[in-house]
Amino acid sequence: MSFDSSVPQPAPLFGIAGWSNSGKTTLIEKLAGHFAQRGLRVATIKHTHHKFDIDAPGSDTARHRAAGAAETAIVSGSRVAIIEEIETAGEPALDAVAARLEPADIILVEGYKSAAIPKIEVRRAAVAHERLLAASDPHVLAIAADYELDAPGKAVFNLDDVVGIAELIEKALGSFKSLRHRA
Rounded-to-integer distance, Cα 179 and Cα 171, Å? 18
Domain map of the chain by residue range?
Answer: 13-52+93-181
Alpha helices in the chain (DSSP H): 24-37, 60-66, 94-100, 162-173
| Helices (H) then strands (E): counts for the chain | 4, 8
Q: How many CB atoms lie within 10 A of CB 9?
A: 10
Q: Could you say which residues of the chain have pLDDT below 50?
A: 1-7, 181-183
The CATH number that domain 13-52+93-181 falls under is 3.40.50.300
Rounded-to-integer distance, Cα 57 and Cα 162, Å? 38
Residue type, 160: D
Buried b (16+ CB within 10 A) or exposed e, 16-40: bbbbeebbbeebbebbbebbeeeeb
* pLDDT at site 178: 59
Over the stretch 126-137, which tens digit does the pLDDT of each residue have? 999 999 999 999
Over the stretch 94-125, which tens digit does the pLDDT of each residue have? 998 888 888 899 999 998 899 999 999 999 99
pTM score, whole prediction: 0.84
* pLDDT at site 65: 83
